Chains A and B, each alone.
Chain A
Amino acid sequence: MALPDAGTGAAPFLRIEGVSKSFGSFKAVNDVSLTVEKGEIFALLGGSGCGKTTLLRMLAGFEEPTAGRIFLDGRDMAGVQPWDRPVHMMFQSYALFPHMTVAKNIGYGLKHEKMTKAERDARVREMLDLVQLTQFAGRKPHQISGGQRQRVALARALARQPKLLLLDEPLAALDKKLREHTQFELMSIQQRTGVTFIVVTHDQEEAMTLADRIAVMDKGVVRQIGSPTEIYEFPNSRFVASFIGSITSFEAKVAGREGAHLVVDVPALGGRILARDVPGVVEGQAVTLAVRPEKLNLTKERPESPNAVEGMVKDLAYFGKDSLYRIALPSGALVQAHAVNARRGMEAARVADWDDKIWLSFDPGSAIVLAD
């Protein structure tokens, strides 16, 4: 408790301070700082090779950071060996011991606890029950399915009641259907056990579903940290905006401020539009204006909105509950927009047809200005 802010009670559970890891001259993780609260599900999201596994391995103690410090529950983890850390990891490949039964695998970590054999057996039974594998207790890992193996790996990592559980792509090896089901199972197990989870994933939907907060990583750097809503609605860079969900973006220039809004010049949209103000941008600065496709409204008549432009339907794809329109603007730009097919019927279902004139509009609040 020698830390300046450890005694205040408000100290974060896990604090990563300026952590970097170099392999030779290559920086796999570059100056990452973040905090994780107790009982949270925190996701590390990023493309392949961006340093997610390397960061996890530093938390587990398999790699020493080249620079920076890691504090867990107020304790500096520098030099603490993997076997002494109250941190357990669920490996990307599960890493189950092939020569041990499911029950032996789950009970493996308990050997190091001061427990009687009866207590240990009871704990293994409790874990088997938690992941619903009681009837497979005596099988070897190669005698069960991939989804069951994933649950054995989870139970094994949870058996010793770690303070922090690290999950490296826990669902990547499962097929799509099982993955969706397992996501919810993972969340419910996290709620019941109260253990803090850090989940690595390259699947943005998975991160959005599972996590309380997400850190978006790119080339070893954390680009943005926030709740799924914050990351989706208020991305801070073109990279984050395009990594999460789909987005339509235009080159723009800041023209000034008007009330609570920013006025930007967007040549592709044929004029000035109002956008949500972001601090730090100045008049004349070149920026990007981005809008999520589902935030674009399509109407036959000219709408009230200050941001409206008339275009022509070039292409449309019908998906049942909604349709995707590709609209050509007078400037020559093509814009994609989603419209819900609210009305029922063959022709009436669509707002517009091929080559129809149509008005495209969006709320100033959903127009995102990105400086970076």
Chain B
Amino acid sequence: MAEPSTLRDATAPVEPRQGGAFARWLDRRGWSDILIGGPYIWLLLLFLVPFLIVVAMSVATKTSTAPPISWGGEVPLLNWEPYQRVLSDGLYLRAFLTSVMNAGIAMILCLFIGYPMALGLVRVAPSWRNILLMLVILPFWTSFLLRVYAWMGLMGRNSWFNGMLTDAWNFLVPIDWAVRSIPMMNSNFAVVLVMVYTYLPFMILPLYASLERLDTTLDEAAMDLGSRPARVFWDVTLPQSVPGIIAGGMLVFIPAAGELVIPSLVGNASSPMIGRLISDEFSMARDWPMASAIAVMLLLLMVVPTMLYSHYQAKAGGSK
């Protein structure tokens, strides 16, 4: 206990100035710390504190009071039962798997569709570029829900879209395989399709940002040294756009894995995604500890790969 106080004594009387302790602290640390600290405070208040509340709720016990949770008293202070249930009940594990699969497939499709589009945006004449960028963002001007309903209409059994696809299918396959309509709605296919449609801009924009910064003389240098354009893309463009691919991938995968609205509206109710389970536990079963435990597990599932990646990035030596 003696050591911290001597330390404080050594620094405190440097500037015997008027004003409260806060003003003196400001003088000593300067405003720059506050500016730098701003984002951290933001993170602390809006991410870390809510997260800790969720973690605390996940180890509480379900009660019939309001709010329907309790720590201590007649119930155990720390209740690990929700976690045990998440890890042992096949329903939850299957929901995790469905979420990761759907989000993963959506992410990969977004990458394969979005990369050529981003590359096109970079290579097109500058006068066209802003118009095309506008078109990428344009869907955001319509309500998200409205767009999902539009897809529901398109995929439904009696829509012209489904009819057209059905005709094409029947034309192409042997007569035995003919169908009256293609069952698209209420399937993982529908979930992935709508998620790709919804999240595509989140893939295109970071890819565009990272491709746009690339120096085109590097492409010329590679060509000059004997590489054809396809090889130049593989050797020069692609490796340099890895940060954009990862950023876009995370921006698609993370919200897609926790998606609630799309699977609820177009998905298969018998194989729910994890967002649906959290919502059901929270509002229908009123089992807050269970809902929180699933949410914590989902977060770990997202955060661990992200941290592994940034650790690997730091070790690679900030190679740009």
Contact = CB atoms under 8 A, between A and B. Distances in A.
Interface of A: 60, 62, 81-83, 87-89, 91, 93, 95-99, 108-109, 111-112, 140, 142, 156-157, 160
Contacts of A108: 222, 225, 235
Contacts of B221: 89, 91, 95-97
> Which applies to chain B's interface (DSSP): helix, strand, loop or mixed?
helix
Q: Which 9 residue pairs of A and B lie closest in terms of their CB atoms, listed nearest first?
A: A109-B225, A112-B226, A95-B221, A95-B217, A82-B223, A99-B239, A83-B226, A89-B224, A83-B223
Contacts of B55: none
A83 B227 contact: yes
Nearest to A62: B220
Interface in B214-270: 215, 217-218, 220-228, 235-236, 239-240
Contacts of B223: 62, 81-83
Nearest to B221: A95
28 contacts: A81-B223, A82-B220, A82-B223, A82-B224, A83-B225, A83-B227, A83-B228, A88-B224, A89-B220, A89-B221, A89-B224, A91-B220, A95-B220, A97-B218, A97-B221, A98-B218, A98-B319, A98-B320, A99-B320, A108-B225, A108-B235, A111-B226, A112-B225, A112-B227, A140-B317, A142-B319, A142-B320, A160-B226
A93 B217 contact: yes
Contacts of A95: 215, 217-218, 220-221
A93 B227 contact: no
B17 to A, nearest CB: 44
Contacts of A111: 226-227
Contact of B240 (A96, A98, A109, A112): A98
B220 to A, nearest CB: 6
A97 B222 CA distance: 9
> Which applies to chain A's interface (DSSP): helix, strand, loop or mixed?
mixed
Contacts of B218: 95, 97-98
Contacts, number: 63
Interface of B: 215, 217-218, 220-228, 235-236, 239-240, 317, 319-320
A320 B236 CA distance: 54
Contacts of A98: 218, 240, 319-320
Nearest to B232: A83
Given A93-B217, A140-B319, A160 B239 contact: no
Nearest to B242: A99
A97 B236 contact: yes
Nearest to B219: A95
Contact of B224 (A60, A96, A99, A140): A60
Contacts of A87: 224
B80 to A, nearest CB: 46
A142 B316 CA distance: 13
Given A93-B215, A108-B235, 17 more contacts: A60-B224, A81-B228, A82-B223, A83-B223, A83-B226, A89-B221, A89-B224, A91-B217, A95-B218, A97-B221, A98-B240, A99-B319, A108-B225, A109-B225, A111-B226, A140-B317, A156-B225
Contacts of A89: 220-221, 224
Contacts of B235: 97, 108
A112 B232 CA distance: 12
A97 B53 CA distance: 48
Contacts of A157: 225
A15 to B, nearest CB: 21
Among A60, A62, A83, max chain B CB count under 10 A is at A83
B222 to A, nearest CB: 7
A12 to B, nearest CB: 23
A199 to B, nearest CB: 16
A88 B225 contact: yes
Contacts of A112: 225-227
Nearest to A95: B221
Contacts of A82: 220, 223-224
B214 to A, nearest CB: 10
Among A60, A99, A112, A140, max chain B CB count under 10 A is at A99
A156 B226 CA distance: 12
A91 B219 CA distance: 12
